[in-house]
Amino acid sequence: MTVPAKHKNGVKQHYKCAVLTISTSKYWKRERGEEEIDDLSGESAQELVRENGHEVVYYQVLPDEEDKIAEGIVNALRTGADFIITSGGTGLTTHDVTIEVVSKLLTKEITGFGELFRLKSYDEIGTAAVLSRAIGGVIDQKAIFCLPGSPAAVQLALQEIIMPEIAHILKHVKE
C-alpha cells in the first residue's frame, strides 16, 4: 500500500458541506425574489459534492461585502459543516474581497491547494491562470476552499483536487 493510500485508509467517507456563492448581482436577484438567479457555479458545487457522497447542509448567496462574507462563513460553520466551498470574489477587481476576508479567519492555509489549482487551470486556460487567487485553508478544524466564480473553475477544483482529497484533508484538520 502506498503512503498516500495508508493515510486515506480508515477515514470517514461522508462529510457535511456548506456552499457560499459570493456575487452581488446574484444576491440582489435573490433579495428581490427573482426565481432564476443563474447560480451555475453554486449549483455545480452542490451537485458535485452530493455526487461524491457528501451532504450539502447550507447554501447561501452573499454580496461582495466583507461583513456579509464573514457573517456567511460564521453561519456556515455553525451548521456543522465539515468543509466550506465558496465561489466568487477571488479576482483582482476592487469588489473581489473574498480572499481578504477568509485570510483573516484562517488558522492555517492549505498552500498546496492554490498552487495545484493554478497549475491545473494553466493546463486549461493558459497564462490567464495567474489572475486566480484561489486558496484553501482551515478555520476551527473545518476546511474552506475559495474558488473563482466560473462554473469551469468550480468543476476543476472539486473534481480534480477537493473531492479526491477531502477525507484525507479532514482527517488531518480534525487531529
* Domain span at 64: 15-173
Is 4 part of any domain?
A: no
Contacts of 64 (CB under 8 A, 6+ apart): 22, 23, 24, 88, 89, 95, 96, 97, 98
Helix, strand or coil, per DSSP, at residue 110: coil
DSSP state of 64: S
Rounded Cα distance, 37 and 44, in Å: 14
- Number of structural domains in the chain: 1
Helix, strand, coil shares, percent, the chain, to 5: 50, 20, 30
Note the pLDDT of residue 173: 96
Residue 24's CB is within 10 A of a number of other CB atoms, namely: 16
Note the pLDDT of residue 11: 66
Whole-structure pTM value: 0.93
Is 7 part of any domain?
A: no
CATH of the domain at 133: 3.40.980.10
Note the pLDDT of residue 152: 97
Contacts of 135 (CB under 8 A, 6+ apart): 90, 99, 102, 103, 109, 110, 113, 114, 145, 146
Q: What is the mean pLDDT of the chain?
A: 94
Is 5 part of any domain?
A: no
Contacts of 173 (CB under 8 A, 6+ apart): 138, 141, 142, 143
**List of the chain residues with pLDDT < 70:** 1-11
Note the pLDDT of residue 63: 97
Is 153 part of any domain?
A: yes
Q: In the block, which residue shows the cell 435573490?
A: 30
Is 10 part of any domain?
A: no
Is 135 part of any domain?
A: yes
Q: Please check whether residue 149 is in contact with residue 88, taking contact to mean a CB–CB distance below 8 angstroms.
A: yes
Is 9 part of any domain?
A: no
Q: What phi and psi, each to the nearest 5 degrees, are found at residue 59?
A: -145, 135
Note the pLDDT of residue 34: 86
Note the pLDDT of residue 37: 85
Is 71 part of any domain?
A: yes
